[in-house]
A and B are shown apart, each in its own frame.
Chain A
Amino acid sequence: MPTARHKSVLSTLGAYAVLLPLAVVTLVPFVWLVTSAFKSREQFFGSMFLPRGEGVLGVDWAALTLENFTRLFSEIAIGRALLNSLFLSSVTALLATLCCAAGGYALAMYKFKGRGICLGIVLAALIVPAPLLIAPGYQVLFKLGLLDTYTGLILPGIAPAFGVFLFRQSVLQSVPPELLEAGRLDGCGEMGIFARVVLPLLRPMTGAFLMITFLAMWNNFIGPQIVLQSPDKQPLSVAIAQLKGVYYEDYGLMMAGTLVSVAPVAVLFLLLQRDFVSGLTLGAVK
Chain B
Amino acid sequence: MKQQASHTTSTTTRAPRFAARPGWLSYFSLGGWAVVVVAIVSTVLVVLPEDRAESDVTLWTFAPPHARMYEPILEGWERDGSQGSVGIETLSLPALERRMLGGFMSGVPVADLIEAERRVASRAFGGPVESVGFLDLTDRLREDGLLDAINESSFGPWTYRSRVFGLPHDVHPVMLCYRADLVEAAGIDVAEIETWDDFARIMRPLMADNDGDGAPDRYLISFWPTYIDNIEPLILQAGDGLFDDDDMVSFATETNARVIATMATWVAGPDRIAADVPEFSAAGNKLKLDGYVVAALMPDWLSNIWRQQLPELSGKLKLMPLPAWEPGGRRTSVWGGTMLGIPKSAENPDELWQYAKRLYLSPELSRSLYTEGDIISPVRAHWDDPIYDAPDEFYGGQPKGRMYIDLAPDVPRRTSSPFNKMALERVQDAAHPAQPRGGGRPGPHRCGTRGSRPRTAAGGRGRGPRAHDAQRHRDREARGGPAMSDTRHGRFAPYLFLAPFLGVFAVFVAYPLAQSVVLSTRQMFGPTASVYVGMDNFRFLLQDPLFHKAVRNTLVFTAGSIFIQLPVALGLALLLDRPGLRGRNALRLVFFAPQLVGLVFLAVMASVIFQKRTGVLNQILEEVLGNRLGWVLQSGPWLDYPWLESQVMWALILSALWMYAGLNMVYFLAALQNVDRSLREAASIDGAGVVRRFFAVTLPAITPVAGFVVLLSVVGSLQLFELPYILLNAGGGPDNQGLTIVTYLYQSGFETGDLGYASAIGWVLAVMLAVFTLLQRFVLRERNA
Q: Which chain B residues lie closer than 8 Å to A44 at the CB level? A: 282, 285, 309
B572 within 8 A of A: yes
User: Is B18 in contact with A179, judged by CB distance below 8 angstroms?
Assistant: yes
- Also in contact, A266 and B117, with CB within 8 A (given A18-B575, A125-B509): no
Q: How far is the CB of A171 from chain B (nearest CB, A)?
A: 9
**Is B476 positioned at the interface, with any CB of A under 8 Å from its CB?**
yes
CA gap between A134 and B751 in the complex, in Å: 13
Assess A210 versus B493: contact at CB under 8 Å? Given A176-B4, A199-B27: no
Within the complex, what minimum Cβ distance (angstroms) separates A54 from chain B? 19
Known A121-B502, A173-B704, A248-B63; contact A135-B770, beta-carbon cutoff 8 A: no
- The answer for the CA separation of A247 and B631 in the assembled complex, in Å, is 45
Q: CB distance B11 to A178 under 8 Å?
A: yes
* Interface contact A159-B35, CB-CB below 8 Å: no
Give CA–CA (A221, B711) in the complex, Å: 26
- Interface residues in A111-142 (C-beta closer than 8 Å to B): 111-113, 115-140, 142
Q: Of B7, B62, B99, B673, which is within 8 A of A286 by CB?
A: B7
Q: Which residue of the partner chain, among A121, A165, A174, A177, contacts B483 with CB atoms under 8 Å?
A: A177
A156 and B508 contact, CB distance less than 8 A: yes
- B39 to A120, Cβ gap below 8 A? no
Q: Tell me if A237 is interfacial: C-beta within 8 Å of chain B.
A: yes
List A contacts of B595 (CB < 8 A).
Answer: 215
Tell whether B778 is near chain A: CB-to-CB under 8 Å: no
B559 to chain A, nearest CB (A): 18
Q: Are B93 and A245 in contact (CB under 8 A)?
A: yes
Query: For the complex, what is the distance from the CA of A107 to the CA of B484, rounded to whole Å?
Result: 10
Residues from chain B with a CB closer than 8 A to the CB of A188 are 19
Given contacts A84-B46, A179-B11, A215-B595, contact A126 B773 (CB under 8 A): yes
**Chain B residue at minimum C-beta to C-beta distance from A271:** B31
Give the Cβ gap from B483 to chain A, nearest Cβ, in Å.
4
A42 and B766 CA atoms in complex are apart in Å by 50
**B587/A196 in contact, CB under 8 A:** no
Contact residues, A126-168 vs B (CB, 8 A):
126-140, 142, 144, 147, 150, 155-156, 158-159, 161-162, 164-166
A69 within 8 A of B: no
Chain B proximity mask over A195-214: 1 for CB below 8 Å, otherwise 0: 11101100111111011101
A147, B106: Cα distance in complex, Å: 13
Task: Say whether, besides A45-B310, A170-B704, A128 and B105 are in contact (CB < 8 Å).
Answer: no
| A50 interface contact, C-beta 8 A | no
Determine whether the beta carbon of A120 is less than 8 Å from that of B475.
yes
Measured in the bound complex, the distance between the Cα atoms of B591 and A121 in whole Å is 34
Q: Is the CB of A133 within 8 A of B509?
A: yes
* Distance between Cα atoms of A284 and B19 in the complex (Å): 11
User: Does B758 sit at the interface, judged by CB under 8 A?
Assistant: yes
- Which B95-116 residues have C-beta < 8 A from chain A? 95-96, 98-99, 101-102, 105-109
Q: Which residues of B contact A210 (CB under 8 A)?
A: 31-32, 35
Do A22 and B591 have beta carbons less than 8 Å apart?
Answer: yes
Is residue B182 contacting chain A, with contact meaning CB distance below 8 A?
A: no
Min CB gap A268→B, angstroms: 7
Q: Given A22-B572, A246-B62, A258-B597, answer yes or no on A178-B31 (Cβ-Cβ < 8 Å).
A: no
B456 at the interface (CB under 8 A from A): no
A123 to chain B, nearest CB (A): 6
Q: Which of B24, B500, B513, B762 contacts A159, CB < 8 Å?
A: B500
Interface residues in B691-741 by Cβ distance below 8 A to A read 701-702, 704-705, 707-708, 711-712, 715, 719, 721, 741
Q: Are B301 and A247 in contact (CB under 8 A)?
A: yes
Q: In the assembled complex, which residues on chain A have CB atoms less than 8 Å from the CB atom of B604?
A: 244, 251, 254
CA distance A191 to B741 in the complex (A): 43
- Given A127-B769, A246-B62, A282-B676, check contact A204 B89 (CB 8 Å): no
Q: Which of B543-588 contact A (CB under 8 A)?
A: 571-572, 575-578, 580-581, 584-585, 587-588
- Complex CA distance for A245 and B704, rounded to whole angstroms: 44
Distance, CA A204 to CA B30, complexed state (A): 12
B765 within 8 A of A: yes
Q: Which of A250-286 contact B (CB under 8 A)?
A: 251, 254, 258, 261-262, 265-266, 268-282, 284-286
Q: Which of chain B's residues have a CB closer than 8 A to the CB of A232?
A: 50, 52
Taking residues whose C-beta sits less than 8 angstroms from the other chain, chain B's interface range is 35 or more
Q: Is the CB of B598 within 8 A of A90?
A: no
Check if B20 is an interface residue, CB within 8 A of chain A.
yes
With A102-B500, A133-B512 known as contacts, the answer to whether A272 contacts B31 (CB < 8 A) is yes
Q: A129-B742, A169-B705 are in contact. Are A251 and B282 (CB under 8 A)?
A: yes
Cross-chain contact B39 with A94 (CB below 8 angstroms): yes
A189-B490, A195-B27, A242-B64 are contacts. A222–B593 as well, Cβ < 8 Å?
A: no
Are A177 and B671 in contact (CB-based, < 8 A)?
no
B590 at the interface (CB under 8 A from A): yes
With a CB–CB cut-off of 8 A, which chain B residues contact A46? Answer: 286, 289, 312
A12 sits at the interface (CB 8 A):
yes
CA distance A164 to B502 in the complex (A): 11
A274 contact set on B, CB distance < 8 A? 29-31
Q: A32-B605, A90-B38 are in contact. Are A127 and B770 (CB under 8 A)?
A: yes
Asked whether B504 lies within 8 Å of A244 as measured between CB atoms, the reply is no
Whether A182 contacts B94 in the complex (CB less than 8 A), given A127-B715, A129-B745, comes out as no
Identify which of B65, B472, B504, B770 contacts A248 (C-beta below 8 A). B65
Chain B's closest residue to A94 (CB) is B39
Given contacts A30-B593, A102-B497, A129-B745, contact A111 B28 (CB under 8 A): no
Tell me the smallest distance from the CB of A166 to a CB of chain B, in Å: 6
Q: Contact: B666 with A214, CB < 8 Å? A: no
A211 CA to B669 CA in the complex, in Å?
13
Task: From known contacts A87-B45, A190-B489, infer whether A207 and B8 are also in contact, taking CB-CB under 8 Å.
Answer: no
CB distance from B361 to the nearest CB of A (A): 22
Among B45, B482, B485, B765, the one with the most A-chain Cβ atoms within 10 Å of its Cβ is B485
Docked complex Cα distance between A142 and B711 (Å): 33
Asked if B305 and A248 sit within 8 Å, CB to CB, the answer is yes
If A133-B516, A142-B106, A150-B46 touch, whether A176 touches B7 (CB-CB below 8 Å) is yes
In this complex, the member of B12, B18, B105 whose beta carbon has the largest number of chain A beta carbons within 10 angstroms is: B18
The answer to whether A241 and B479 touch across the interface, beta carbons within 8 angstroms, is: no
How far does the Cβ of A170 sit from chain B's closest Cβ, in whole Å? 6
Contacts of B26 in A (CB 8 A): 196, 200
Given A26-B593, A258-B601, A270-B589, A277 contacting B669 (CB threshold 8 A) = yes
The answer to whether A204 and B64 touch (CB under 8 A), given A132-B762, A178-B8, A219-B599, is no
CB pair B106 A135 closer than 8 Å = yes
Please state if A246 and B508 are interface contacts (CB–CB under 8 Å).
Answer: no
Q: Is A105 an interface residue (CB 8 A)?
A: yes
Q: How far is the CA of A242 from the CA of B667 in the complex (A)?
A: 32
Contact indicator A172/B512 (Cβ below 8 Å)? no
Chain B residue with Cβ nearest A220: B598
Complexed CA–CA distance, A27 and B312 (Å): 30
Asked if A247 and B670 sit within 8 Å, CB to CB, the answer is: no
Q: Which of A115, A134, A273 contacts B589 (CB 8 A)?
A: A273
Q: Does residue A10 face the partner (Cβ distance < 8 Å to B)?
A: no
Are A245 and B486 closer than 8 Å at their CB atoms?
A: no
Q: Given A212-B663, A245-B62, are A138 and B511 neighbors across the interface (CB < 8 Å)?
A: no
Residue of A nearest to B101 (CB): A135
Q: Is A15 located at the chain interface by the 8 A CB criterion?
A: yes
- Structural contact, A15 and B705, CB atoms closer than 8 A: no
Nearest-neighbour CB distance to chain B for A244, whole angstroms, equals 6
A80 to chain B, nearest CB (A): 9
B742 — which chain A residues lie within 8 A by C-beta? 129-131
Q: How far is the CA of A240 from the CA of B721 in the complex (A)?
A: 21
Would you call A158 and B593 a contact (CB within 8 A)?
Answer: no
CB B592 to nearest CB in A, in angstroms, measures 6
Q: 3 tightest A-B contacts by CB?
A: A225-B95, A182-B15, A136-B512
Q: What are 14 A-B pairs at a CB distance below 8 A? A: A106-B497, A111-B487, A117-B475, A120-B475, A127-B715, A142-B106, A178-B11, A196-B27, A205-B670, A208-B667, A210-B31, A245-B92, A280-B673, A285-B11
- Known: A176-B11, A271-B30; 4 extra A-B contacts, CB below 8 A, are A110-B486, A133-B509, A133-B516, A139-B107
